[in-house]
Amino acid sequence: LDRRRKRYQVQGEGHMMMNTVLARRSTATPASRTRGLLTTLVAMAGLFAATLVTSQPAQASSDPPAQFMRQVAREMLAAANTRSVDALAAVIRKYADVPTIGLFSLGQYAARLPHKDRPAYYNGMVRFMARYATEQQPKYPVARAQILGRSYPDSNGIAVDSRITLRDGSTYDVRWLVVKRASGYKVRDAQVMGFWLTPFQRSMFQSHIDEKGGSVRALLLALSRF
């Protein structure tokens, strides 16, 4: 029950921030009907606020996906400590599978995004994620983050399991979905408290586009403010 309450609290805060910015674009923004809310970077910010350790160092050393996640954690920790949106956004661009996440988040509207507008859209999405993470991180102080065993195949990529312990003693599991790309590995998604996070971002983005009469441009304008 406490985890469910925390989940809804985090979602509400993310929606409030998004709506505050969207309201600046229009004086007639209707009450949001979004059920799915962006929470991706809340979980990430918590994980990256601690240096990942492994319960099986010998195995992890021969496990490239787990090694990749530890490297991501180190760089995100350094960026998070600066409290700089720009620094965090740079690391997200480097390690997240941004194009795949971005197009997935548009759902049925992905085909309406012109190729020439994709860089601006990806940049706005990344900055939105980075800003939200930067604002939420102090609320979820991490005492310990641990990789649980080896990575293993998932239907959509490679899964890396971790367990997060907050300073208040509460714990939650995060399953990272890592995919192989030509340049190495990329983070595709994360599962927190039993739900995958990118579908929540897709629900938020699609809801806003729906409210704007199917205009992808309206979402681009909103994200440009981040």
| Domain locations along the chain | 39-201
Q: Label residue 155 by pLDDT band (50, 70, 90).
A: confident
pLDDT at 110: 97
Nearest 5 degrees, angle CA 77-CA 173-CA 135? 40
Kindly indicate whether the domain formed by 39-201 is annotated with CATH number 3.10.450.710. Answer: yes
| This model's pTM is above 0.85 | no
Q: Cα(29)–Cα(131) distance, rounded to whole angstroms?
A: 22
Q: What is the pLDDT of residues 96-133, one digit of tens each?
A: 999 999 999 999 999 999 999 999 999 999 999 888 88
Phi-psi region of 32 (alpha: psi -120 to 50; beta: other; left: phi over 0): beta
Q: Cα(141)–Cα(105) distance, rounded to whole angstroms?
A: 28
Average the pLDDT over 142-163 and give the result: 87
| Size of the chain, expressed as the number of residues it contains | 226
Contacts of 11 (CB under 8 A, 6+ apart): 37, 39, 200
Q: What is the pLDDT of residues 177-224, one digit of tens each?
A: 999 998 799 999 988 878 888 998 898 899 999 999 999 999 999 999
Grouping H, G, I as helix, E, B as strand and the rest as coil, residue 55 is: coil
